[in-house]
Amino acid sequence: MTTIDANLQAVHARIYAACFAAHRPVDTVRLVAVSKTWPADCVREAVLCGQRVFAESYVQESLDKIVRLADLDIEWHFIGPLQSNKTRAVAENFAWVHSLDRLKIAERLAAQRPAHLPPLQVCVQVNVSSEASKSGCALAEAPVLAHAIAKLPGLRLRGLMAIPEPTGDSGLQRRRFALLRQLLTQLNTEGLALDTLSMGMSHDLEAAILEGATMVRVGTAIFGARNARPVDNK
């Protein structure tokens, strides 16, 4: 058994245990493998171990990988910060975007999504850690943004995503994730039909699953520690 194979099995075991503790069916949580900084060969190996959903954070790096792995049936998710000059590449090459935090970017993705593809599945990224984090829209601004995005053609708003500040305090982890869960409930009572909570990473996936995560984004626990972030030069 390879390292990636063993790591994937260990992550599945953690997800299974967390679902058991949360009294949730294990098939309510999808594992998104975060392959940023790892070469295409590592993704290929993970696919051979049964993993089908992968996430990337840097546009140029991801396009190279998507081309090299075009022979495989991979569902690609974009989870990184997105600038306007890179929206077209994302609209054309990804199935999901988790990191929408501005209407302008959503409008560009909507306009650029090719008509022959299904709608781009999107989540609004919310800052649940206020001053301790910079990414994501403010909690108070999320409802207006979510309702606006839900109206755009070419996109299908599925839910919310958050990256709380790293902490080993599992109580704090759960309180941050609970904010996202409560916001999802609020938006659904306001008429949106959202089914996705993208939250939980290598160090806090258990807390996320206890608070209702439906997608956990796991990199390090599958592929190992990332050394350096590649230069995204295009």
Ligand X SMILES: *Cc1c(COP(=O)(O)O)cnc(C)c1O
CA distance 28 to 42: 26
Quote the tokens at residue 116: 């022959």
Question: Is 174 a residue that touches ligand X (CB under 6 A)?
Answer: no
Q: Which residue is nearest to ligand X (CB)?
A: 219
- Binding to ligand X by residue 214, rule CB under 6 A? no
- Rg, C-alpha atoms of the chain: 17
- Asked if 14 contacts 216 with a C-beta cutoff of 8 angstroms, the reply is no
Which residues from 188-207 bind ligand X, rule CB under 6 A? 201-203
Among 19, 34, 137, 207, binds ligand X (CB under 6 A): 34
**Does residue number 209 form part of the binding site for ligand X (CB under 6 A)?**
no
Q: What string marks each residue from 74 to 113 as x (binds ligand X by CB under 6 A) or -?
A: -----x----------------------------------
When asked if residue 57 is in the footprint of ligand X (CB under 6 A), the reply is yes
Give the other-Cβ count within 10 Å of 49's Cβ. Answer: 16
* Contact status: 173 vs ligand X (CB under 6 A): no
Token couple for 154 = 């070419």
User: Shortest distance, CB of residue 49 to ligand X, whole angstroms?
Assistant: 17
Which has the closest alpha carbon to 68: 93, 42, 40? Answer: 40
- The answer to whether the beta carbons of residues 2 and 45 sit under 8 Å apart is yes
Stated as kind and residue range, the H or E segment containing 63 is: helix 59-68
Q: How many positions of this chain bind ligand X (CB under 6 A)? A: 13
Instruction: Restricting to residues 137-166, name those near ligand X by CB under 6 A.
Output: 163
- Residues in contact with ligand X by CB under 6 A are 34, 36, 57, 79, 163, 201-203, 217-221
